Structure 1
Amino acid sequence: MISPANAASAYIRATQAAPPRPLEDSQLGKAAQGFEQAMASADQAAIGAMSGTTETHQLVQSLTEAEFALDAAVAIRDKVVEAYQEILRMPV
Structure 2
Amino acid sequence: MDIQSALAGKAYGLSRQIAVEPQSQTGAAFAEVAADMVSDLQATEKAASGALTGTVDPHAMVQALAETELAIETAVTLRDKVVEAYQEILRMPV
Indicate whether the TM-score tops 0.5. yes
Higher-Rg structure is 2
Question: What percentage of residue pairs aligned between the two structures are identical?
Answer: 44
Displacement of 1:91 after TM fit?
Answer: 0.5
Q: 4+ residue runs of structure 1 moved beyond 2 angstroms?
A: none
Instruction: Figure out how many residues of one structure are paired with residues of the other and give that number.
Output: 72
Higher helix share: 2
Q: RMSD of the alignment, in Å?
A: 1.8
Check if 1:27 corresponds to 2:26: no
5+ residue gaps in structure 1? 1-17
For 1:88, which of 76, 90, 93 is the aligned residue? 90
How far apart, in 1, do the equivalents of 2:32 and 2:74 lie? Answer: 14
For 1:67, which of 66, 69, 73 is the aligned residue? 69
Structure 1 length as normaliser, TM-score? 0.73
Displacement of 1:28 after TM fit?
Answer: 0.4
Structure 2 length as normaliser, TM-score? 0.72
Check if 1:48 corresponds to 2:50: yes
